[in-house]
Structure formats: structure tokens, C-alpha cells
Amino acid sequence: MSFSRLAAVAALAILGISPAAAQPTPSQQVTILVYSFGYAPRPIHLAAGRPVTLTFVNRSGSSHDFTAPAFFAASTIRAGAAPGGEIELAGHQTKSITLIPRAGTYRARCTHFMHSMFGMKDQIIVN
């Protein structure tokens, strides 16, 4: 081990920080399939306080959205956006958002005309 690397490790040890703790926490990856008239998985399970990247894949040629305003408002968004608590997807579009979710149970649905009535609803369970 070089002197400079040894000095860095020693400094971290004095500060009570392990070299592993200095690294950013990797995000869990969850793919949410969007299709006419549903989402998968159903329900969506996430770990509270742990970074997660949600990737929304619209398998349909039609536009849909994933609207969960309480969930997105309670989460800390690190990358991407959900304006108004919504991820809008054009036909065959994919979008990702990285966030840290807060514990709770949240509802999600597609707000396009009649889509939620046809079953395009989901639940997000964070514990």
C-alpha cells in the first residue's frame, strides 16, 4: 500500500469513517411495466430510506401516466422528475427517476380518461 493511500485510510479511521462509507450507496433498480390497462409489478414493494431507480417502460403504443402525488411528495428525488406527482409516458417511451422513498402505502393510477376504471391502478408499499 502506498504511503498516500495508507495516510488516507488512517485519516478516515481517525474520523470514524470507513472507506466503504465514503462511497455513494448504489440504487436498487425496479422496472415498472406500463401497458393498456395495467402496471406490473402489482403491488410495488420498496425499502424505506434506500435509494431506488424506478424505470417506467410503456409497452403500449398509446400514452399513459403513472400518477402517485403522495408518494412522489413524500420521497426525496435525486434524479429525474415527477411534476405534479406524475410520470407521463408517450407510446413505447421509457423514463427513469431515482429517489429515496419514505415508509407508507401509496396509491398510483393512470389519469387518462377511463384508464383507472379499466384497472390501471397500483399500490406502492414502502417499508
CATH number of the domain within which 122 lies: 2.60.40.420
- Average pLDDT along the chain: 88
pLDDT tens digits for range 80-123: 999 999 999 999 999 999 999 999 999 999 999 999 999 999 99
pTM score of the predicted model: 0.80
Residue 2 maps to a domain = no
For residues 95, 119, 50, 104, the Cα torsion angle rounded to the nearest 10 degrees is 140
- Give me the number of domains the chain comprises: 1
Cα separation, 66 vs 64, whole angstroms: 7
Residue 10 domain-assigned (yes or no)? no
Nearest to 99 by CA among 71, 65, 124: 71
Pure H helices in the chain: 3-15, 69-74
Q: Is 7 contained in some domain?
A: no
Using DSSP bridges, classify how beta strands 121-126 and 44-46 pair: parallel, antiparallel or unpaired: parallel
pLDDT, position 12: 44
Q: Is residue 1 part of a domain?
A: no
* Whether pLDDT at 19 is above 50: no
Mean pLDDT over 22-32 rounds to 78
Would you tell me how many other CB atoms lie within 10 Å of the CB of residue 79? 11
Q: Taking residues 30-38, report their average pLDDT.
A: 96
Residue 27 has a pLDDT of: 79
Q: Answer yes or no: is 99 within a domain.
A: yes
* Residue 66 included in any domain: yes
Cα–Cα distance measured from residue 66 to residue 117, given in angstroms and rounded to the nearest whole number = 14
Q: Give the structural domain span for 117.
A: 25-126
Predicted pLDDT at 23: 52
Residue 24 vs residue 63, higher pLDDT: 63
97: Cβ contacts below 8 Å, ≥ 6 apart: 53, 54, 56, 77, 79, 80, 81, 82, 87
In this structure, the strands spanning 64-67 and 86-89 are antiparallel
Domain assignment present for 70: yes
Q: Can you give the pLDDT at residue 49?
A: 98
| In the chain, % of residues over pLDDT 90 | 79
- The answer to whether residue 9 sits within a structural domain is no
